[in-house]
Amino acid sequence: MKVFTDVLTDPVYTKSTKPDSKSKKFLKSMIRDERDLPFLYLTIELTLTLLPLAILLFLPLPTFLWWIAAAAFTFLNNFRYKGPFGLMLHCTSHRVFFVKKYQLLNHYLPWVIGPLFGQTPETYYSHHIGMHHPENNMPDDESCTMPFQRDSVRGFSRYLGSFFFTGVINLARYFVRKHRKKLLIRSVRGEILYILMCVGLSFVNLPATLVVFILPFVISRIIMMVGNWAQHAFICALDPDNAYKNSITCINTKYNHKCWNDGYHISHHIKPNMHWTEHPLYFKQTLHEYIENEAIVFDGIHFLHVWLWLMGKRYDLLAKHFVNIGNRFNSDEEIMAFLRLRTKKIDLATLPVTTVAVA
C-alpha cells in the first residue's frame, strides 16, 4: 500500500509571465479557455500528420511506399495519439472548445479528425454526455458494469461483445425511452454515415479503408470499454450511485500528463464540467470526502494497469499501488479483500427501489 503524502505530480495550469507572441494571442482568441491551448496545438499536429497520411494511403503509391505510410499511420494513431486525442474529444465534449466566432470549428474534431481514430461522428458525445453521465453507471446506463464479475475475462468479454455489436442499438433505444430525439438522431446519424463511408471507400481502396478507418474503429471500441470497465470496476453494492464508491482515481501517473488528468474519474463524475487542470487541486481540497466515502485511489498506475491486473486477478499489484487514505487498512491483505468485495457481480434486482428509480 501507499501513503498519501500531499504531493501530486499531475499537471495543473500555471499562467505564463512571459508576453504572448502574436500567433499565440491569435490562437488564444479562437478558444473559450486559454487553458485548452494544448488541445489546439494537438489539433494542428494531427491535421499536419495523420490527415495527410490518411489521404496519401488512398493515392496510387508504389507498394513499398504505401506500406511505409500505413505503418506510420498505424503507429502514430494507436501509440502516439490515441489516448491524447480520445481524452481531448472527451474534454471538448464537456466544455465547448472554440468561441462563437469560430464555432464551426467545434465540428472539426468529431467530424474530420475523429473518424481517423474510429470515432463515429457525435456518437461519443451522445453516449457519454447524453447517457453515461446522467445515469452514472446505474442500471439505465447502457455501459453499466454492475451486472458483471469485474475481475473476470469472461465477464469482460460479454461486456465488450454486448457493446461492440449492439451498443448503438441499445443507445438508440435508451434515447427513445427518454424521449431525447436530438441525441437519438446525432448518435444514429454518425454511426450510419461512418459505416456507409467505410463501405463506399472499400470499393475505392479496401486496404486503405482498413488501415485508416476500420482498424481504428475496432481498436477504439475496445479501448473505450477497457477504460470504462476499469473506471467502474470497484463498486459498493450498498451505495452504487455514489461516485466515490462506483469509480476510482489514479494519481501521480504519466498517463495524466498525456491524457489531460483523465485518472481523476471520481471528481469528473462529481463535477463533469470541471476543467481538466483543476482536478489535482480539487482532489487535495476534498480529500476528506474521499476518506469518508471509502474511495479507491491508486498511485503511479492508470486504467490499463487496473484492467490488466483485474483480468489476471493480481490484487497484490493493485494493493501495492493502493493509497491508504485515512489509514483505513493495516495490511495489503486487508486491501485485497476490500477490492475483491468491490468487484463482485451485482444483481440489479437486489438494488433498492429508490436507487433504481434515480438511475
Q: Which of 289, 324, 306 is nearest to 248 (CA)?
A: 306
> Would 332 be classed as within a structural domain?
yes
pLDDT of residue 125: 97
Model confidence at 355, pLDDT cuts 50, 70, 90, reads low
> Would 317 be classed as within a structural domain?
yes
pLDDT in tens, 285-296: 999 999 999 999
User: 127 phi and psi, to 5 degrees?
Assistant: -65, -50
pLDDT of residue 5: 85
pLDDT in tens, 149-193: 999 999 999 999 999 999 999 999 999 999 999 999 999 999 999
Q: Give percent of the chain above pLDDT 90.
A: 95
Mean pLDDT within 314-342: 97
Helix or strand or coil: residue 319? helix
Position 105 pLDDT exceeds 70: yes
pLDDT of residue 350: 82
> Would 257 be classed as within a structural domain?
yes
Position 303 pLDDT exceeds 90: yes
Distances (CA, A) of 247 to 54, 227, 241, 250, 266: 37, 11, 10, 10, 6
Distance from C-alpha of 359 to C-alpha of 355, rounded to nearest angstrom: 7
> Would 296 be classed as within a structural domain?
yes
> Would 134 be classed as within a structural domain?
no
Helix or strand or coil: residue 253? coil
> Would 210 be classed as within a structural domain?
no
Q: How many domains does the chain have?
A: 1
Which DSSP symbol is given to 79? I
Position 357 pLDDT exceeds 50: no
Q: Which of 95, 118, 97 is nearest to 271 (CA)?
A: 95
Helix or strand or coil: residue 213? helix
Distances (CA, A) of 29 to 69, 92, 259, 316: 35, 17, 24, 49
> Would 281 be classed as within a structural domain?
yes
pLDDT of residue 199: 98
CB 219 within 8 A of CB 118: yes
Position 40 pLDDT exceeds 90: yes
Strands (DSSP E) along the chain, which ranges? 248-251, 296-299
Model confidence at 127, pLDDT cuts 50, 70, 90, reads very high
> Would 344 be classed as within a structural domain?
yes
pLDDT of residue 46: 98
Q: How far is CA 88 from the centre of its chain?
A: 9
348 compared with 356, residue with greater pLDDT:
348
Distance from C-alpha of 275 to C-alpha of 260, rounded to nearest angstrom: 10
Average pLDDT score over the chain: 96
What string of DSSP letters covers 112-144?
Answer: IIGGGGT--TTHHHHHIIIIIHHHTTSTT-TT-
> Which residues constitute the domain of residue 322?
243-358
| C-alpha cell at position 31 | 478558444
Model confidence at 219, pLDDT cuts 50, 70, 90, reads very high
Mean pLDDT within 78-97: 97
Position 356 pLDDT exceeds 90: no
The model's pTM: 0.94
| C-alpha cell at position 25 | 494571442
Mean pLDDT within 7-28: 94
Buried b (16+ CB within 10 A) or exposed e, 140-170: bbbbbbbebbbbbeebbeebbeebeeebbee
Distance from C-alpha of 201 to C-alpha of 159, rounded to nearest angstrom: 30
pLDDT in tens, 243-283: 999 999 999 999 999 999 999 999 999 999 999 999 999 99
Q: Which of 89, 53, 46 is nearest to 224 (CA)?
A: 89
Distance from C-alpha of 260 to C-alpha of 198, rounded to nearest angstrom: 31
Distances (CA, A) of 328 to 15, 165, 166, 257, 342: 38, 42, 41, 29, 16
CB 211 within 8 A of CB 70: yes
Model confidence at 353, pLDDT cuts 50, 70, 90, reads low
